[in-house]
Amino acid sequence: MSEPQQPAQQPDPAQPGQPYSQPGQPYSQPGQPYSQPYAQPGQPYGAPAQPNAPGGAARTGALGRTAFLIAVIGVAIGLLFQLVTPLMYMSIGFGVVDVLSNLVNLLVLAVAATGLVLGIIALRRPAPHLLAAIAIGLAGSTVVGTLVSWVSNLFYYFGF
């Protein structure tokens, strides 16, 4: 005859030399107290670490790079117009330059706001964040600078 089978006993965590197991959790592997791996930087807790997912795209940070380029383009347009403005005052006149300045500032604001939004979206993705953070800094300062410039022009025009 065969002997009656008894259930396998759990190791006692209080005993030295025994692997630790959480209460209520089945014993799985020696030396691993938790069933989920530790989170890697930039990943939520419990997410598997996959730097290059098979069959998927690698973590390239393309959105952060795009946000950076858009922010740099917005800053470049604004700086180029600031350099050309004195020459335009001499050749075209104040009225035309004032209207053109408002249009260019509107374009710079739109481009910088786009770079800012894309940078914020890129920071929330699991990709390299350096270019996205630089894009947020460039675009944010451009947006704030343009808005402050418009407010100061309003005070100048209306004599506040």
pLDDT, tens digit, 9 for 90 and up, residues 59-80: 688 999 999 999 999 999 999 9
Q: Which tops the pLDDT comparison, 99 or 1?
A: 99
pLDDT surpasses 60 at 35 = no
Q: Is the pLDDT of residue 55 over 70?
A: no
Residue with tokens 């190791």: 11
CA 153 to chain CA centroid, Å, is 33
* 34, pLDDT greater than 90: no
Tell me the H-state helices in the chain: 62-91, 94-123, 130-158
Q: Does residue 56 register a pLDDT over 50?
A: no
Tokens 């075209």 map to which residue? 92
Q: Give residues with Cβ within 8 angstroms of 31, minimum separation 6.
A: 19
pTM recorded for the entire structure: 0.61
Question: What is the residue extent of each domain of the chain?
Answer: 62-158
Q: How confident is the model at residue 153 (pLDDT cuts 50, 70, 90)?
A: confident
